[in-house]
Each structure stands twice: as C-alpha cells, then as structure tokens.
C-alpha cells in the first residue's frame, strides 16, 4: 500500500484530526452516527454502538499500539495495522464487526442489513466524501437489491484496506 493511501486510511480513523488514533476517535464516530440518525446514547442501540466502538478501539490498540501509550501514531498504524491486514484482511475486519453491526442497527430499523441510502449517510457522517461514499456503498450491494448486509459491510471494510482504488 502506498503512502497516499495509508495517509487516507489513517485520516479516516483519526476523526478529530489531531495526528493520532485513540479511543476518543472511535467515540466521536459513534456520536456522529447517533446524531445523524437522531438516536440517543442511552437507548439500547446507542449503548451497543458505544460498546462496539470500545471493542473496535481495543482491537486496533491490540494490533497497532506497540508502545502501549493508548495512542496509535501513523508510524504504529503503518507497521502494525497495515502489516496485519495485509496478512489477513478478514481477521482485521472482524475487530470492526460489533461496531458495524451496531451502526447498521442505528441506521436502519428493519432487519437484514441496511438500505443503500442509509449506508451512504453512515459513511458521510464518518467524514467520507459524498462521491466516494456513494461509490463505496454501490460496490457493496453486489446483487443490487438496494440493501447491504452485515457480512457485505464487514467484507467491504476489509476491501477498503486491501484493494487499490
Ligand atoms: Ca485523533
Ligand atoms: Ca502508541
């Protein structure tokens, strides 16, 4: 993976743009999603989302926070996360599954995945630009039924790191 792509992926996680990834970034992402879909933090869906954000952060820290200071710098991200996901993108993506599952529940009240339009709102709330978000979601909905399943979302997350754009 080249430097520009690594920088873009790092920036996606560094939601507040302060130069490192930490727990706050994952909580910011959860808050942004709750605000976008007008869901309170106290309800079951809100609590599930924060639990997923915590698990996602713990997974990321376990992989990439080499010096254990509860911050993942760009250098740690490159040597830790990027190497790990190159070896096994599916396993890397599993650290995101509880968060992604909870995000789907927040974005869509019906069972069985999330509507394409709602999935696009999720990505935009997380700071992905409109055009990129639309393309990403369209590519996830392989069978074109207008919905994206949890597995499709997790797989898309893995591909996001491994497939050249
Ligand atoms: Ca940050
Ligand atoms: Ca660190």
Q: What is the pLDDT of residue 130?
A: 81
Position 17 pLDDT exceeds 70: yes
Whole-number Å distance, alpha carbon 71 to ligand 2 midpoint, is 4
pLDDT band at 153 (very low <50, low <70, confident <90, very high): confident
Q: 115 in the Ramachandran plot: left (φ > 0), alpha (ψ -120 to 50) or beta?
A: beta
41 vs 47: CA distance, rounded Å: 6
**70 alpha carbon, closest ligand:** 2
Q: Which of 28, 25, 6, 20 is nearest to 72 (CA)?
A: 20
* Residue 97 contacts residue 152 (beta carbons within 8 Å): no
* Residue 61 contacts residue 72 (beta carbons within 8 Å): yes
Domain architecture of the chain: domains with CATH: 3-162 (1.10.238.10)
Q: What is the pTM of this model?
A: 0.88
């Amino acid at each position: 993976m080249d430097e520009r792509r690594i920088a873009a992926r790092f920036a996606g996680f560094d939601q507040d743009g302060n130069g490192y990834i930490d727990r706050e970034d994952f909580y910011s992402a959860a808050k942004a999603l709750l605000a976008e879909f007008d869901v309170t933090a106290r309800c079951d869906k809100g609590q599930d989302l924060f639990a997923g954000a915590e698990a996602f952060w713990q997974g990321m820290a376990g992989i990439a926070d080499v010096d254990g200071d509860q911050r993942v710098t760009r250098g740690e991200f490159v040597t830790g996360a990027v190497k790990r996901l190159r070896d096994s993108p599916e396993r890397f993506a599993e650290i995101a599954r509880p968060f992604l599952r909870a995000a789907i529940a927040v974005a869509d009240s019906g069972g069985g995945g999330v509507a394409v339009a709602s999935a696009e709102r999720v990505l935009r709330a997380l700071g992905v630009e409109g055009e990129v978000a639309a393309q990403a979601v369209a590519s996830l909905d392989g069978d074109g039924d207008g919905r994206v399943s949890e597995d499709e979302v997790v797989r898309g997350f893995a591909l996001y790191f491994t497939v050249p754009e």
